[in-house]
Amino acid sequence: MRVIDSHTEGEPTRVILSGGPDLGTGSVAQRAMALAQDHAAFCDSVVQEPRGTAALVAALLVPPSLPDCAAGVIYFNTVGNLGMCGHASIGTAITLAHLGQIGPGVHKLETPVGVVTLELHSEHEASITNVESYRLHKDVTVDVDGLGQFTGDIAWGGNWFFITRNLPCALDFANIDQLRDASLRIRKCLEMQGWTGTDSAWIDHIVLIGPSQNADARNFVLCPGGSYDRSPCGTGTSALLACLAADGTLAPGTEWLQESIIGSTYKLQYAPGDAGRIVPTIRGRAWVTAEADLHFAPTDPYANGIRDPRR
């Protein structure tokens, strides 16, 4: 299996160029469903240990069903498919440029949740115009034993997020373990209280947001598999902008600089969408880190990855 690895502001992406399963024809959304239903072992083999890590997002390139798209892409991590992924879209754009398949300018990607537009600014920088984002619930409060109350918004930015400004501790890199533990407990409380996205969707991401000395805000983002986002999280910050827009605290076209827990940043702004939604644009940097062939020996007991039985 031929892959190219990259990182976007610290968060890794693995673009699969060849060696993936036959997903048939149809839209990228339909093929993403086929991947999730019929090819779990393939996905595990790419992103689970020993080849992968909980922080890794894979981007499987597939032919687009829409003629004006440069590529189709299906995102997945150690838990399963992702509808959209901001950092992986930027990583995919930089990878396509590295391969000579796109040049500077505007291009389209077909994703499972719709078409996203990307603009390649240079060999290491790109912007992604994300899917329409919106807030579903405002001021949802959960009680976490030993930590107290956390009040936040439930919002969509391509994935589902609970976004809170109630912090269990300072947003410092040294507090990663404490921030992760609190976020896992918040997510569990949301599940126990029956909070979901539309169509009973799991709220699989938690965003803890606070002040920054270098940006408009700093965040810690818990990802579905229990890892944390090294980047500021493109879909999460899209969801945040939807909440700011709904509150009237950020005007269309105004730049928002978002800092991650490791200090990397995205530049964002939004345009109005339909029915009170917004269309966010995320600008960030990515670098190719490796080109590799993944090998799958028939005698390898962990060829299909090591899946955590607790999940």
pLDDT (tens digit per residue) in 223-265: 998 999 999 999 999 999 999 999 999 999 999 999 999 999 9
Residues 256 and 220 reside in one and the same domain: yes
The answer to whether residue 302 is domain-embedded is: no
Task: State whether 94 and 153 are in the same domain.
Answer: no
Exposure on the CB side of residue 297, measured as CA atoms within 13 A: 5
The residue-averaged pLDDT of 132-151 equals 97
- Lowest average pLDDT, out of 40-49, 59-68, 184-193, 300-309, goes to 300-309
CATH number of the domain to which 272 belongs = 3.10.310.10
Q: What is the mean pLDDT of residues 202-208?
A: 97
Give the confidence band of 99 by pLDDT, cuts at 50, 70, 90.
Answer: very high
- CA dist 201 and 83 (Å) reads 11
Residue 72 sits in the same domain as residue 146: no
Q: Are residues 25 and 66 in the same domain?
A: yes
Instruction: Look up tokens 């115009």; give the residue.
Output: 129
140 with 197, same domain: the answer is yes
36 and 107 both lie in a single domain: yes
Number of domains in the chain: 2
Whether 267 is covered by a domain: the verdict is yes
DSSP strands (E only) in 27-158: 57-62, 71-76, 81-82, 105-111, 114-122, 125-129, 134-144, 148-156
Question: Which member of 85, 189, 223, 243 is catalytic?
Answer: 85
CA pair distance 20, 72, nearest whole angstrom: 13
Residue 284 lies in a domain: no
User: Which pLDDT score is estimated for 307?
Assistant: 80
Whether 73 shows a pLDDT value over 70: the answer reads yes
Instruction: Say yes or no to pLDDT of 42 above 90.
Output: yes
Whether residue 162 lies inside any domain: the answer is yes
The verdict on 250 and 171 lying in the same domain is yes
Q: Is 8 or 114 the better-scoring residue by pLDDT?
A: 8
Assigned domain for 199 exists: yes
**What digits encode the pLDDT tens for the residues 261-278?**
999 999 999 999 999 999
| Known active-site residue 189 | no
Catalytic residue selected from 69, 189, 223, 233: 233
pLDDT, residue 101, reads: 95
Statement: residue 114 has pLDDT above 80: yes
Please report whether residue 306 resides in a domain. no
Residue 7: inside a domain: yes
The domain of 203 spans 134-276
- Of the pLDDT bands very low, low, confident and very high (cuts 50, 70, 90), residue 47 is very high
Rounded CA Rg of the chain: 19
> CA 232, 32, 295: angle at the middle one, nearest 5?
85
Q: What is the mean pLDDT of residues 38-44?
A: 95
Q: What is the pTM of this model?
A: 0.93
243 catalytic? Reply is no
Same domain membership, residue 237 and residue 160: yes
Q: For the residues 28-33, what does the mean pLDDT come to?
A: 96
Residues 15 and 114 in one domain: yes
| pLDDT > 80? residue 311 | no
Share of the chain above pLDDT 70, in %: 99
Mean pLDDT of 177-181: 98
210: part of which helix (H) or strand (E)? Answer: strand 205-210
| Cα separation, 53 vs 4, whole angstroms | 15
Instruction: Give me the phi and psi of 282, to 5 degrees please.
Output: -115, 125
Q: Are residue 118 and residue 60 in the same domain, yes or no? A: yes
What the block records as the tokens of 81 is 């498919």
For residue 83, the model assigns a pLDDT of: 84
Q: What percent of the chain has pLDDT over 90?
A: 95
Residues 231, 272 within the same domain = yes
Does residue 237 sit in helix, strand or coil? helix
Sign of torsion over alpha carbons 89, 92, 94, 97: negative
Whether residue 12 is found in the same domain as residue 69: yes
Q: Is 6 part of a structural domain of the chain?
A: yes
Q: Share the mean pLDDT of the chain.
A: 96
The size of the chain, in residues, is 311
Report which secondary-structure segment, H or E, holds 104. none
Q: How far apart are CA 188 and CA 182, in angstroms?
A: 10
